[in-house]
Amino acid sequence: NCGTEYTVEEAKKMMVEIDNTKKINNLYERAHKSLEVNDIKHAAEYYKQILDEKPDDWEAYFYSYLGEFDSYTNAQAGSVAEKLGKTIPSAYDMAIKDCNSTEATERIETITKQVTDRLEQIASTGAALLREYEGGNVLLPAGKVNNDLYQRIRPTAANTVANCVVAFAPIEKKLEEIIKNCDKIDKVKCKESLLYLRRTRYRIADMQFEPAAGVKEYLIKAELIHEYAEKINELDQNFTIPTVEEKTNSSGGCYVATCVYGSYDCPQVWTLRRFRDNTLAETWYGRAFIHVYYAVSPTL
């Protein structure tokens, strides 16, 4: 603007590197104070500013994403879980760089514990939504039971729970990879973190619901529940693995129809399920038939 001309070489010599250490330390302090009071939303705002200056900082990366997905609606819950599953594994790679064994292990424990608890929290919102209308116990103003509301809400809740379960897969895979290949970490402690993750995933998949009086159902396939139980048993031999048959017998699905049509969620099976919930379950003899049917249909 003053009209003085400089060559590129001269301009480079005059460049001053700005020391922003004080600014970053101040942001860290604010972020940590927000975490102390469990204010993840404001902590994430500070961490995002740190991430602009230090893009490889594991703490800033992890908490900025964890905070970004802190609030959501029932309809968004499933996609939030899916995004966590995709973004969090990179935090592990950042966490084990440029640190000693103790720090790397502690960082892995922190990431695993917090993201696992978050996924369980998200799954619980879907389960709570479904349980509000299950069992036909709550009456609408007109006196009609809430079976139709239960069936309407079920896809949203099922999507939330299923996405939470699926979100564990890439996180577990990355953690297994680090335990296998990284000599820096305390493998015993990291396996404890892996076991914590697997127990939580199993607990979510094993959730039971009651769409109608006396009828139990799961939102996750029995075979997957059994698979997750086996994963726990790999790290904890004292854990008893339930058989697939035990899970199937209590799942509330129409086994004959499912075998015939090939899917638990096909339209024909849903028609039969509505007949079960809205017609049979309304009378004592209908409920008795349901119990007998579930007792004999797996054998049939």
Give the DSSP per-residue string, 124-183: HHHHHHHHTSGGG-SBPTTS-BTHHHHHHHHHHHHHHHHHHHHHHHHHHHHHHHHHHH-S
> Are the C-beta atoms of residues 221 and 253 closer than 8 Å to each other?
no
Burial of 99 (0-12, 13-18, 19+ CB in 10 A): middle
Is residue 276 within 8 Å of 215, Cβ to Cβ? yes
pTM over 0.85: no
For residues 273 and 230, the model is more confident at 230
Q: What integer pLDDT is reported at residue 188 of this predicted model? A: 95
Beta strand 208-212 with 215-218 is antiparallel
d(CA 85, CA 118): 11
What average pLDDT does the chain have? Answer: 83
1 or 34, greater pLDDT: 34
Task: For Cα atoms 228, 65, 164, give the angle at the middle one, nearest 5 degrees.
Answer: 25
* Separation CA 23–CA 27 (nearest Å): 6
- Which tens digits make up the pLDDT trace of 59-115? 999 999 998 888 888 889 999 999 999 999 999 999 999 899 999 999 999 999 999
Residue 6 has pLDDT above 70, yes or no: yes
- pLDDT tens track for 212-252: 666 778 888 888 898 999 999 999 989 888 765 444 433 44
At 239, phi and psi to the nearest 5? Answer: -75, 130
Residue 73 DSSP code = -
Q: Which two tokens stand for residue 164?
A: 């939470």
Q: What is the mean pLDDT of residues 17-22?
A: 76
